[in-house]
């Protein structure tokens, strides 16, 4: 049998092109993830800079100003310093738990960004249970804090880890009930994209902020407690626990805890934007991006850009409120924190859910 060389070359070129297509497809699968991680990193650096500037303004003192123009490189300098510092391990602690704990906290928060939409198609995973996936994943972070406290072999660290677990359980239930009220009555869906689209029908007046004002207040308080922000930073109260579960940490592992707190604050701000503030929508009724820019291609590019900017503007508005709250209110006691969660927020959120479902039954 005679084999034609041209046929062999054709087969080889076809197999090469197919393998190249698979490689390109694999690369393009990771490109959106890398872009999202880069955007998250820049967002965290901006939050750190904003917190220092806002806190300095509230306390009438000078904020960061020497590391770059207006001190914008100060957060990057702090991250570099933590990266280069010596990483110490407790001699009598559980090294495996001590090492894995910070990674679990950071990874569990990063996974939550998969379901956050910055536009109709600018979302990595548009899941039908997107909001509840965030709640389920966020409940993993206290396990990492508890592992870190236990692995440190330090009573202050272990007390901080126990406080983190108790605080998370206390405030996750009201937060979940608020999300359930939106999913059942207002949007009839747990997809983050569907929730935003439902709010866009009536412009600014269609925000869930006006439909669920009680749930909005409870959600904000619960999200601040989930982020362990003042006045809810009991797991790391310096006056009582030195630094809580972070007491024995140094170097890059301490930096991971520092990063996780701001990642959690940013993801909570984005979910407040999606659930109650209309998400990426401009919220101007009867005006579309296509009408403003005419052509569909130009409107598509500008629409995505405007969607991202609008989402970030709303999220950073909530961040301003949380930062101002941190530098204004005093810290609560542990019994006050648990009483607020179990005796006040839980009955209020449950009543809000019953009121929402009863109004739905009446409308039927």
Residues 150 and 291 in one domain: yes
Residues 69 and 99 in one domain: no
Residues 192 and 304 in one domain: yes
Residues 78 and 91 in one domain: no
Q: Which of 276, 313, 308, 314 is nearest to 117 (CA)?
A: 308
Residues 205 and 312 in one domain: yes
Residue 165 lies inside a defined structural domain of this protein: yes
308 CB-side CA count, 13 A: 12
In the listed set 45, 61, 83, which residue is the last one of a domain according to the structure?
Answer: 83
Q: Look up the pTM and report it.
A: 0.86
In the listed set 56, 83, 110, which residue is the last one of a domain according to the structure?
Answer: 83
Max CA distance (Å), the chain: 90
Residues 156 and 122 in one domain: yes
The total domain count for the chain is 2
Residues 279 and 297 in one domain: yes
Q: Cβ-count burial of 250 within 10 angstroms (0-12 exposed, 13-18 middle, 19+ buried)?
A: middle
Q: Which domain holds residue 22?
A: 18-83
Residues 40 and 154 in one domain: no
pLDDT for the residue 290: 47
Residue 2 lies inside a defined structural domain of this protein: no
Residue 5 lies inside a defined structural domain of this protein: no
From first to last of its 364 residues, the chain has per-residue pLDDT tens of 444 556 545 555 545 666 667 777 667 777 777 888 888 888 888 898 888 889 888 888 888 888 878 888 888 888 888 888 888 888 888 888 888 888 898 998 888 888 888 887 788 888 888 888 888 888 888 888 888 888 888 888 888 888 888 888 888 889 999 998 888 766 577 888 888 888 877 777 788 888 889 999 999 999 888 888 878 888 777 667 677 788 888 888 888 888 888 898 999 999 999 999 888 887 665 555 545 555 555 556 677 888 888 899 999 988 998 888 888 888 888 888 889 989 999 999 999 988 888 877 776 6
Residues 149 and 260 in one domain: yes
Residue 364 lies inside a defined structural domain of this protein: no
Residue 362 lies inside a defined structural domain of this protein: no
Residue 306 lies inside a defined structural domain of this protein: yes
Q: Which of 57, 110, 122, 99 is nearest to 320 (CA)?
A: 57
Residues 193 and 65 in one domain: no
Residues 178 and 33 in one domain: no
pLDDT for the residue 186: 62
Please state, in angstroms and rounded to a whole number, the distance separating the CA atoms of residues 317 and 228. Answer: 19
Residue 273 lies inside a defined structural domain of this protein: yes
Q: Which of 230, 263, 223, 237 is nearest to 102 (CA)?
A: 263
Residue 225 lies inside a defined structural domain of this protein: yes
In the listed set 83, 107, 134, which residue is the last one of a domain according to the structure?
Answer: 83
pLDDT for the residue 347: 93
Residues 102 and 76 in one domain: no
Residue 105, CA distances (Å) to 45, 170, 235 in order = 19, 18, 14
């Amino acid at each position: 049998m005679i084999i034609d060389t041209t046929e062999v070359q054709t087969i080889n070129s076809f197999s090469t092109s197919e393998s190249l297509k698979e490689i390109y497809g694999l690369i393009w699968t990771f490109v959106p993830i890398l872009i999202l991680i880069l955007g998250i990193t820049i967002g965290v650096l901006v939050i750190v800079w904003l917190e220092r500037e806002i806190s300095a303004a509230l306390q009438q003192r000078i904020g960061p100003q020497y590391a770059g123009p207006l001190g914008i490189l100060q957060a990057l300098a702090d991250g570099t310093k933590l990266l280069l510092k010596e990483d110490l391990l407790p001699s009598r602690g559980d090294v495996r738990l001590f090492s894995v704990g910070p990674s679990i906290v950071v990874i569990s928060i990063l996974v939550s960004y998969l379901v956050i939409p910055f536009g109709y198609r600018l979302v990595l995973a548009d899941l039908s249970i997107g909001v509840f996936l965030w709640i389920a994943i966020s409940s993993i972070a206290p396990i990492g804090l508890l592992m870190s406290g236990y692995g440190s072999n330090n009573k202050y660290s272990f007390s901080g880890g126990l406080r983190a677990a108790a605080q998370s359980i206390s405030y996750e239930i009201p937060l979940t009930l608020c999300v359930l009220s939106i999913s059942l009555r207002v949007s009839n869906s747990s997809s983050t994209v569907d929730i935003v689209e439902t709010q866009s029908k009536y412009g600014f007046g269609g925000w869930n902020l006006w439909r669920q004002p009680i749930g909005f207040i409870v959600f904000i308080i619960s999200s601040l407690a989930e982020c362990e922000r003042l006045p809810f930073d009991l797991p790391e109260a310096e006056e009582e626990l030195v630094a809580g579960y972070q007491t024995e940490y140094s170097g890059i592992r301490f930096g991971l805890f520092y990063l996780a707190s701001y990642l959690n604050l940013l993801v909570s701000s984005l979910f407040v934007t999606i659930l109650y503030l209309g998400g990426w929508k401009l919220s101007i009724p009867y005006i579309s991006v296509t009408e403003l820019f005419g052509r569909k291609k130009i409107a598509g590019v500008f629409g995505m850009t405007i969607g991202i900017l609008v989402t970030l503007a709303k999220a950073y508005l909530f961040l301003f409120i949380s930062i101002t709250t941190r530098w204004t209110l005093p810290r609560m006691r542990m019994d006050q924190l648990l009483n607020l969660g179990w005796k006040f927020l839980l009955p209020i959120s449950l009543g809000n859910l019953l009121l929402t479902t009863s109004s739905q039954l009446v409308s039927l």
